[in-house]
Amino acid sequence: MKDGFIKVAAATVEIKTADCDYNKEMIIKRAFELYEKGVRLAVFPELCITGYTCQDLFFQSTLLDSALDALYEIRDRLRALSMITVIGLPYRYKSKLYNIAAVLYKGEILGIVPKQNLPNYNEFYEMRHFTPWEGGTVETDDNIPFGKDIIFCCKQLPEFTFGVELCEDLWAPVPPSSLLALKGANIILNLSASNEMTGKAEYRKALAENQSARLISGYVYASAGEGESTQDLVFSGHNLICENGITLAESRLFANECAVSEIDVKKLAFERRKNTTFTNDDNSRRVYFDMELCHTDLTRFVSRTPFIPYSKDEKDSRCELILSMQSHGLKKRIQHTYSKTAVIGISGGLDSCLALLVTVDAMRLLSRPATDVVAVTMPCFGTTKRTKTNAEKLCEALGVTLRCVDISDSVKQHFKDIGHSMDDLSVVYENGQARERTQVLMNIANQTGGLVIGTGDLSELALGWATYNGDHMSMYGVNCSVPKTLIRHLVKYYCDVSENALLKEALTDILDTPVSPELLPAKNGEISQKTEDLVGPYELHDFFLYNGIRWGYSPRKVYRLAKYAFNGEYDNATILKWLKTFYRRFFSQQFKRSCLPDGPKVGSVTLSPRGDWRMPSDAMNTCWQKEIDEITE
């Protein structure tokens, strides 16, 4: 539960239809097994104490009495477990019979939620036996909350809130879960008995994923399985755990197994705070419970590269879409400004390579020749033959106009003008070159009636790894919301789909070239300045950016997730070292992000001051640094 992770389970057990004693024992046994695995919220299927398929036996007092006795015994025997257990059974209330979910915790029934939408079609005839609940929330004779508007809330972790709906409720035009989410439920539990048939599993999964995305919630779906009557139907025990549109865990069909994972309620609460459609609605019954915060072992997938899709097919389609968004954004800007050319500085590195590919595509969309793209190489003290050659090959393969402007003499003159020694390899030495390059590009753009296309990426913006009014500045930055780890995949995708042999050769070597600004003198003709040696691995910084900024995680939580994701790749000391660097630079370099050029948003994380990220340039990082300093693990 620490850091907002709640280990949840959707649990199907083998039952015997109408045998409440047997079913009770199976539920209790499974509950203890789940608790030993660290589960703190376990959901069992609809009517699991009796079985969903009892038909007219639901009218029998003997069955109903047996079910209630079983519920009470489950409640008492699970008293010692610090785990919410939610169980389905038939329940009599004021002369009517309801299909309900009972929420149990530490020897108490916290609340009873009746089903609202009863199926009455095809093989389902629930309305023959049960009454749909259409009222609000009342209390039973035992002073137990009974109704549809109950929000269950953990006192120790305010983000841990949940509501309950049952099976058909999810299929309704306005599911109860929609209203429960608006009332504050971050997790929705669904007790179900969904029969299996061809194509239904895929539809069911899509429905649960979509509802969790729409509600920005966790969704735990537990369905009936082995032991239900097969007189006319079969039940597969399809269990799902979803979080904001993503399936975290899914059981196999006909396996009578549990789906277990961890829902991040702090992440959900953070996203809802940003979404103004989620308003405070106090028109609900809140039931509070105490649960000690404990460590939760993670089993859910945490990507090392969160900006990059996991599967190859999805990765390729994402690359195609991003390239299209970049090129169409630039197309509009060129069109609107009546620019005769697009001017871009080419270094032979990944960032400028991607920007050039996008710029050529933009000209193609405008039905203009590639020669309207003016690519400028500007060799200086740190430029190596390898990068210069790759830049020239790339331009030749794409058919753009190539200009070479050696800036060495201009920079030397500038150093002479300001009294800076050529032996002093400080930041003045480096930034003098970067600013001279930008001046050259701007003036060539004036010469040719063009726009300067920026090459800097999202990772560099986050770290402030850009020379202010040097590579920091352009007239349109096509890479501004593309992180460094993703840029490599975009270039690789372009290389893979290209049929141009020279282009593939150039792109292949660019992909193999170390990331470097090449501002310090080369050693024996090789790159002497490797960015990741200086500022840290970009895969770590992109991980920190995505989790710390996109989801608002605390530094302690980011560190925990990084240890989990990069286990075996980086040791804890290395992760902590670069985490400190990330937060220090992220705060100190905001002034560069406060005056960014325009550029297209292509993903959920951007740092544009005009949209997704607004931060005072002189904000202190004291709170974040204090938490980092307290990390001892």
Token reading at 63: 């069955």
Q: Is 167 a catalytic residue?
A: yes
Q: Is 46 a catalytic residue?
A: yes
What Å distances lie between residue 146 and 111, 262, 285, CA to CA? 6, 28, 10
Q: Do 263 and 244 meet the contact criterion of CB atoms below 8 Å apart?
A: no
Token reading at 264: 């991040």
Helix (H, G, I), strand (E, B) or coil at 228: coil
Residues contacting 81, CB < 8 A, separation 6+: 31, 32, 35, 106
Active-site option among 167, 380, 395, 495: 167
Token reading at 78: 């699970």
Nearest to 515 by CA among 538, 528, 531: 531
What Å distances lie between residue 534 and 448, 457, 581, 592, CA to CA? 37, 17, 10, 19
Residues contacting 183, CB < 8 A, separation 6+: 149, 151, 163, 281, 282, 283, 284
CA atoms within 13 A on the CB side of 538: 21
Active-site option among 24, 115, 393, 592: 115
Q: How many helices (H) and strands (E) does the chain have?
A: 20, 20
Active-site option among 7, 20, 24, 46: 46
Strands 108-114 and 137-139 come out as unpaired
Q: Provide the 10 A C-beta neighbour count for residue 508.
A: 13
Residues contacting 273, CB < 8 A, separation 6+: none
Give, as one character, the DSSP assignment of residue 550: I
Strands 450-454 and 137-139 come out as unpaired
Strands 187-192 and 161-166 come out as parallel
Q: Which residues does the annotation mark as catalytic?
A: 46, 115, 167
